[in-house]
Structures are given as structure tokens and as C-alpha cells.
Amino acid sequence: MENQTRVAIGIPAPNYLITTHQPPPFIATYPTPPPAQQQSLSCPPLFIITSILIIILFVSLAFTGFYFTYQQSNPPIIRIESIVAFNITNWLITLSLKNPNKYASIHYEKIQVSVSEFDDKWRVICPVDEFDQVENGENLMDVDVFGLVDSKMVEVVLKMDAVVCLQAKYMQKQWQMLEVDCGVVVVQPRMNTTVGRSNRCNVRLR
């Protein structure tokens, strides 16, 4: 029996006619929160950060005010500027007061200037109106003195007491007693003397 070989002859099918069936791709979807919910989720972190920054700023200002008011506050610089003796019972004393503090103002009240004889036989107390002094400010304070003992020449002790308040911005007021001792001054009738800035008084805060 003869072997029979069959050969199939034909034209191959084009590629676009060959189709394959593949499963559709899987697409995961998640629910999207509404816009109002998204805004509420982003607000708390921003609010917390803003609050922390405000607290840090407030603490920094408070510490700065405390440092410059309580640690760096200096008493005023007080000098006898001039003394005018119209007669031995009528004087005009001018005091120079300078605030050396850069960050604190000074308020003066209950001011009393006392003039007494060197051996303290008599004393005259002169009240002065209260006033304010800005940072690094300088003021001249006139004191009218009446009722002194009649004499050709007298040695007097000049002192001043007051209640002062040192205050910096954003800080609580600091009240202190001011004690000033200008030492012994020789005064003669019809004397018009400019003492100058060399005669500096001793000043103490307590």
C-alpha cells in the first residue's frame, strides 16, 4: 500500500482577523469625600500651627519685656542744674532728671524735695507735681523753696524722695521708692549759680 502524503495549501489569515479574548482590566475606585469634609480635615493642622506661633511670639515678647524692665532697668540720673537765691528765704532750685533706660519709661509721683541746714536745725519740704518721662528722656524740674532761716550764708543738705514706676511695653508696672541725696550745697543771698553736670546726686531705688 502506497504512502499517501497530503499537503494543505492555502493562504494564511491576516493578523487582524485573529482575535483573542482577554479579561477586562481591574480598576480600583475609592469614594471621594465631599469638598466640605476635605476642608474640615485640612483646617485643624493649620489652626494648631498658627496657635503655636502666636504662643511663641507672646512668650518672646514677655521675656524681652521682663529682661529689659526688671534686669536692665537703671535708676534715673539726677543732678543739680542751677540754684537761684533771690534772697535767703526765696530760692529756685532746678534739678536735671534723665532716664537712662532704653526700653522703660518712668512715672514720678509723691515727689518731695527737702532742704535742711547741715546740722539739721531746720528743714523745709517742698512738694512737686507728678510727671512722666519717656525712654532716654531728660527733664528739668523747678523747685520753689520758701521760708528758710534768714542768714547771710547757709550750708544746706538737698534731698528728694518720690515713688516711681518703671514700665516697659507689654509688661506689668514696677513701683519702687526713689531716694536722692545731693549732698551739701552752700547758698548765699542773690546767688545765681549754674552748678552744671559735675554735681551728680546719689540715687537709690528700693
What cell numbers appear for 144 in the block?
Answer: 520753689
Domain boundaries, the chain: 77-205
The answer to whether the predicted template modeling score (pTM) of the entire model surpasses 0.95 is no
pLDDT given at position 150: 62
The model's pLDDT over 4-30, given as tens digits with 9 standing for 90+, comes to: 555 555 555 555 445 555 666 656 565
Say how far apart CA 71 and CA 65 lie, in whole Å.
10
pLDDT given at position 44: 61
Supply angle C-alpha 146, 199, 93, rounded to 5: 20
What cell numbers appear for 14 in the block?
Answer: 491576516
> Which has the closest alpha carbon to 204: 145, 164, 151, 169?
164
pLDDT given at position 182: 92
pLDDT given at position 55: 87
What's the distance, CA 103 to chain centroid? 5
Residue ranges in the chain whose pLDDT is less than 50: 2, 16-17, 38-39, 41
Three-class DSSP category at 24: coil
Three-class DSSP category at 153: coil
pLDDT given at position 138: 95
Going 93 to 101 to 136 to 108, the CA torsion angle's sign is negative
Say how far apart CA 41 and CA 32 lie, in whole Å.
13
pLDDT given at position 173: 82
- Reply yes or no on domain 77-205 having CATH 2.60.120: no
pLDDT given at position 72: 59
Say how far apart CA 94 and CA 158 lie, in whole Å.
12
pLDDT given at position 5: 53
To which H or E segment does residue 87 belong?
Answer: strand 77-87
